[in-house]
Amino acid sequence: MEKTWNNKAWFLVLPVLVLVAFSAVIPLMTVVNYSVQDTFGNNQFFWAGTDWFVEILTSPRFWDALWRNLVFSAVILAIEVPLGILIALNMPKHGPGVPVCLVLMALPLLIPWNVVGTIWQVFGRVDIGLLGYFLNSLGISYNYTQNTAHAWATVIVMDVWHWTSLVVLLCYAGLVSIPDAYYQAARIDGASRWSVFRHIQLPKMKRVLLIAVLLRFMDSFMIYTEPFVVTGGGPGNSTTFLSIDLVKMAIGQFDLGPAAAMSIIYFLIILLMSWVFYTVMTQSDAEQS
Amino acid sequence: MARISLEHIRHAYSPRAKAAGDYALKEVHHEWEDGGAYALLGPSGCGKTTLLNIISGLLQPSDGRILFDGKDVTQLSTEERNIAQVFQFPVVYDTMTVFDNLAFPLRNRKVPEAEVEKRVNEILEMTDLAGMAKRRAQRLTADQKQKISLGRGLVRANVNAILFDEPLTVIDPHMKWVLRSQLKRLHRQSRFTMVYVTHDQTEALTFADKVVVMHDGQIVQIGTPAELFERPSHTFVGYFIGSPGMNFMPASVDGAMARVGDQTIALANAPALKGEGRIELGIRPEFIKLGRDGMPVTVNKVEDIGRQKIVRATFCGQPLSIVLAEDDDIPTDAKVSFDQHAIGIFSDSWRVENQSSGQGG
């Protein structure tokens, strides 16, 4: 059969093309443009080729930030996922406790990110913060502005406080979709608590759990606002994650070329990670068929 | 295997129930014989599943005691009661293979693996699942899922009873028939006490030795299929068993004579009426003769359902169903007569026994 070409189709998809061009393609191309040139202002550009990419990929500063960020993501996933499952398992499924729990769980998610940062920044302060003052008066010397371990602990606890709810709500949605007959059958079959979790609850939560892990990984890998507000990346560079480093480079030092190169590398890393997650998820689905 | 006694069991889903109407299950006092095959029959919401869950221990009754072979098990958990139950909704553990699914209840009870192998293979054979034993229990049809569910109920060797909660609802008609006869055969071989909940009268009547009819939270009659058909003890049993159901019409009784409208009908015996109840005369459509003799009747409609004809008529202003053989003639000026021995007299919906028979109503 002969295909009919109708050029009106281009006209119909034009609005979307324009939208995508302005929101994604043009900004991305601008970044690509910056990443291969050097400028000293005055809108004068000099060709730099792959110099900036080489510079970023050989700088310990980039690798340190990347490593810190990976460790951070791994730690918060290792805490938030099991904790989220545990809380979801213990939430009531019927009765007046349900809306109360859901609202409590949703609260941290409703707070703007910079406000979360500010809350913890104040909370942890040694002079006026409830947590900081209290810990120090107990004789525990705690100061997140000076001690690397304390800074990390604060940022991690803050993230757990902020985002565990997301894992909880997703898992809870999976759990409430399990019909009562499953639990009754398990009781009749004499299944242990662990068997019920392993063979009934976990399989039902698997899909939402993968989504939760994906979302939490992406979010924590791009984390900026909260640690920026609390520690500003310090003490030293100890909590300088990739985004913070990028902003320092681009806005703080106005090194547009290296910053653009780093943006592209950062973007490619996230793209790669998303692809890995996507593959893992679809493969575990394919296994079921 | 055990004799199960229910002593004055009542259940309300709300803890503050007072009036009889608050109880999902009104008082049940009944004994299930060891090795019997019972069907619990009744419409949706009549309390069948509640009663079943009380026996298995998934529910604690609000009042009363449950005894297995004379031993009080009211406070015992489901595992301790050692009961198998199959649910209406098929439950399959889709992380395991079909074999492991069936082995699950045995392995949880630390049955030796050789014994597990033997039992599971028997069940696989019985349910026709042997071909997919090693397969993961995923993407199965509703039939296959329910067979696995059933199999897990049947796999344990020493259960006190096996309870079935409408297990064949999702299964297609042909398979239903096959599985039902397999259950029946299994019952004859094993002599487990079996209680089978259903709202399908054919299923109940073919499966069970004794059918327990429930209505509005209480047991209205326990009997063999023939007893339920011939001598329903409650108008509900009359309606519910048989197709079409029993005909009921308001009547008044004087000795061995009943009056319906302006017609007088002679009864075989005088019913032992006590007090002033609402009296009804009941007769099954199968025991009414349509011919040239008898009482006047108006034929409204004839439904041909194959080997039988159902005549919808009006008798003394009351609707009346009559079942006729396929080739019976319907005279133009039709008259009806009732088989005397098939007539039942009901007072406030309960059957009234005859004076001479001396049985309680």
pLDDT tens readout for residues A14-45: 999 999 988 988 988 888 888 888 877 667 77
pLDDT tens readout for residues A238-253: 888 888 888 888 888 8
Residue A225: is its pLDDT beyond 50?
A: yes
Phi, psi of B296 (to 5 degrees): -65, 145
Instruction: Decide if A248 contacts A233 (C-beta within 8 A).
Output: yes
pLDDT tens readout for residues A94-130: 888 899 999 999 999 999 988 988 998 888 888 888 8
By residue count, chain A amounts to: 289
Q: Cβ B91–A185 below 8 Å, yes or no?
A: yes
* Distance of alpha carbon A202 from alpha carbon A286, whole angstroms: 18
Using a pLDDT cut of 70, give the percent of chain A over it. 97
* Distance of alpha carbon A88 from alpha carbon A164, whole angstroms: 10
Residue type, A24: A
Q: What residues of chain A lie within 8 A of the CB of B91, using their CB?
A: 181-182, 185-186
Q: What residues of chain A lie within 8 A of the CB of B111, using their CB?
A: none
Q: What residues of chain B lie within 8 A of the CB of A184, using their CB?
A: 53, 58, 85, 87
Residues 6+ apart with CB under 8 A from B103: B116, B120, B155
Encoding tokens for residue B209? 């030795």
Domain ranges of chain B: 4-230, 246-351
The more confident residue out of A166 and B48 is A166
The predicted pLDDT at position A289 comes to 46
Q: Cβ B152–A182 below 8 Å, yes or no?
A: no
How many Å lie between the alpha carbon of B354 and the closest alpha carbon of chain A?
47
3-state secondary structure of A254: coil
Q: Cβ B95–A185 below 8 Å, yes or no?
A: no
The predicted pLDDT at position A86 comes to 94
Per-range mean pLDDT, top range of A77-81, A218-222, B346-350: A77-81
Instruction: Decide if B266 contacts B260 (C-beta within 8 A).
Output: no
Instruction: Decide if B128 contacts B206 (C-beta within 8 A).
Output: no
B342: DSSP letter: G
Angle at B328 between CA B326 and CA B329, to 5 degrees: 130
Q: How many CB atoms lie within 10 A of CB B89?
A: 18
Domains with residue ranges and CATH for chain A: 28-58+255-288 (no CATH), 71-240 (1.10.3720.10)
Residue A199: is its pLDDT beyond 80?
A: yes
Find residue B304's DSSP bridge partners.
B309
The predicted pLDDT at position B328 comes to 80
Q: Which of B73-82, B127-136, B169-178, B350-359 has the lowest mean pLDDT?
A: B350-359
pLDDT tens readout for residues B51-66: 888 888 888 888 888 8
How many Å lie between the alpha carbon of B54 and the closest alpha carbon of chain A?
12
Q: Cβ B58–A182 below 8 Å, yes or no?
A: no
Classify domain B4-230 by CATH number. Answer: 3.40.50.300
Encoding tokens for residue B75? 């406070």
Question: Under CATH, what is the fold of the domain B246-351?
Answer: OB fold (Dihydrolipoamide Acetyltransferase, E2P) (2.40.50)
The predicted pLDDT at position B361 comes to 37
3-state secondary structure of B256: coil
* Distance of alpha carbon A59 from alpha carbon A55, whole angstroms: 6
The predicted pLDDT at position B358 comes to 44
Q: What value does the CA radius of gyration of chain A take, rounded to a whole number of Å?
A: 24
Average pLDDT over residues B102-108: 89
Per-range mean pLDDT, top range of A144-148, A266-270, B259-263: A266-270
Residue B360: is its pLDDT beyond 60?
A: no
Q: How are strands ordered across the β-sheet holding B63-68?
A: B25-32, B4-11, B63-68, B71-72
pTM exceeds 0.90, yes or no = no
Instruction: Decide if A163 contacts A219 (C-beta within 8 A).
Output: yes
Residue in chain B nearest A206 by alpha carbon: B95
Encoding tokens for residue A125? 């302060």
Encoding tokens for residue A24? 């994604």
For chain A positions 170-199, those within 8 Å of chain B (CB to CB) are 179, 181-182, 184-192, 195, 198-199
The predicted pLDDT at position A285 comes to 63
